[in-house]
Amino acid sequence: MTMCHIIHLTPVGRGAVSSLLVEGCAAATMVDRFFRGANGRSLTQAALNRIYFGHWYHEGCQVAEEVIVCRRAADQIEIHCHGGLSAFTSIENSLRNAGCCNIAWPEWLQCRTVDPLNSAARIALAQAKTGRVTHILLDQMQGAMRQEIRTLVELLQDQKLAAAQERLNRLLERAQLGLHLVDPWRIVLAGQPNVGKSSLMNALLGYSRSIVRDQPGTTRDMISTETAFGGWPVELNDSAGLGTGTDPVEKAGVQLAWNLIRESDQVILVFDATLPWTEEQQRLFSEIPSALVVHNKVDGNRLFLNQRPEGLLTSTVSGQGIQELSARLEALLVPEPPPVGAAVPCDLDQVQVLREAMSSLVLGATETASSELRRLLSD
């Protein structure tokens, strides 16, 4: 029998309904081995897009699963079952034991979609976590990126090189945003022990995620969670205090914190406003020059705000500065949000092609730049 593929149409996990697709020229015959419709008809004669209720009988087993099937095309059968893991897994195993092979849905979509830009947008859209990201990706799926590439090719053909370079540069400036539409920005809360990083993380999230205690060094490992600032997806990380202790566990936590800082997109460097400014604090400030500086605990009875670098003043007790910190983070991540309908590259392949085209254009290789851009088009 010709190979049939199994594609998950719903995420793996518990749900109300789970769905999968069996695709291949023998899909109907394959599903007929296990499906018994209430009308008694074979799926090979089923009308397209008509829903059929019945039961799924596993080979060698008298227990049946209630399912709904639908023949979407001559070579496509959708199967919808109860959302529990047991029902879905047993149906999938029946098909695999009969010779079907799993294929990941992004790979399946890429194989079936002629337009690579549309395919990339669809794959990203399925993983979008905020409304703002969804709107940008919908614009790409509806042709914003495709139209921009066509415009660039036309400009190059007409030898309007300055205009082409300007538009290409604008696309590359949006590359960081595009690559973080699905993969969140990584933000790290860093600072010495007991400066209130964990309390600040909880305040930014609006709920308790990090453990908060008065004892220094409470956080010895990375604690992370996903959230959003202004609709931009973010992975917020609470790291171990950057102390100078000799305890092996504490030293390991500090090393992990520094590794996280180096890999982050943005660091929030937190200081205690109730303590005098020291050489150790100055050294820490100098080692992370791109950090967003926050002076925390400004609700304290005695503050030392002189002779220290400028920064946001915050209090997790009164809430002072928390909204301003959220707004500052949003502005740092995306200083210039794209207008509605703007083209935004949304995967690494697109960004790489744009970079290659820009390099060719700078070198005066106009035809090469045009050829590279056409790789993103299907026509």
Q: What is the pLDDT of residues 306-319, one digit of tens each?
A: 989 999 999 999 99
Q: Which of 93, 89, 80, 99 is nearest to 24 (CA)?
A: 99
Asked whether residue 160 carries a pLDDT value surpassing 60, the answer given is yes
Tokens (6 digits) for 316 = 């997790």
In tens, the pLDDT along 186-212 reads 999 999 999 999 999 999 998 765 444
305, pLDDT greater than 80: yes
pLDDT band at 64 (very low <50, low <70, confident <90, very high): confident
3-state class percentages of the chain: helix first, strand second, coil last, to nearest 5: 40, 20, 40
CB atoms under 10 Å from CB of 340, counted, come to 9
* Range scoring the smallest mean pLDDT among 1-10, 119-128, 331-340: 1-10
pLDDT of residue 282: 96
Sign of the alpha-carbon dihedral angle for 264, 215, 284, 274: positive
Work out the angle between the directed axes of helices 144-157 and 116-125 (0-180°, nearest 10): 150
The residue type of 85 is: L
Work out the pLDDT band at 131, boundaries 50, 70, 90. Answer: very high
What does pLDDT average to over the chain? Answer: 90
pLDDT tens, position by position, 222-248: 789 999 999 999 999 998 889 766 677
Average pLDDT on 341-357 reads: 96
Q: Cα Rg for the chain, rounded, in angstroms?
A: 27
pLDDT value at position 218?
Answer: 44
Q: Which residues lie below 8 Å from residue 258, measured CB to CB, with a gap of 6+?
A: 242
User: Smallest Cα–Cα separation from 345: which of 110, 120, 132, 114?
Assistant: 120
**Residue 108 confidence (pLDDT):** 87
Assign residue 257 a region (left: φ > 0; alpha: ψ between -120 and 50; beta: otherwise).
Answer: alpha
pLDDT in tens, 67-92: 999 999 999 999 999 988 888 899 99
- pLDDT for position 212: 45
The dihedral region occupied by 206, where left means phi > 0, alpha psi between -120 and 50, and beta the remainder, is: left
Query: Please, are residues 361 and 99 in contact by the beta-carbon 8 Å criterion?
Result: no
| Residue-wise pLDDT tens digits, 4-33 | 999 999 887 777 899 999 999 999 999 999
- How many Cβ atoms from other residues are within 10 Å of residue 139's Cβ? 19
Q: What is d(CA 333, CA 100) in angstroms, rounded to the nearest whole number?
A: 45
If you average pLDDT over residues 40-60, what whole number do you get? 90
What is the pLDDT, as a whole number, of residue 246?
A: 63
> What confidence tier does 337 reach under pLDDT thresholds 50, 70, 90?
very high
Write down the pTM of the prediction.
0.80
Task: Please provide residue 78's backbone torsions phi and psi, each rounded to the nearest 5 degrees.
Answer: -90, 140
pLDDT for 210 equals 46
For the record, the structure tokens of 120 come out as 């990339």
Domains and CATH numbers, the chain: 5-111 (3.30.1360.120), 113-174+339-374 (1.20.120.430), 185-333 (3.40.50.300)
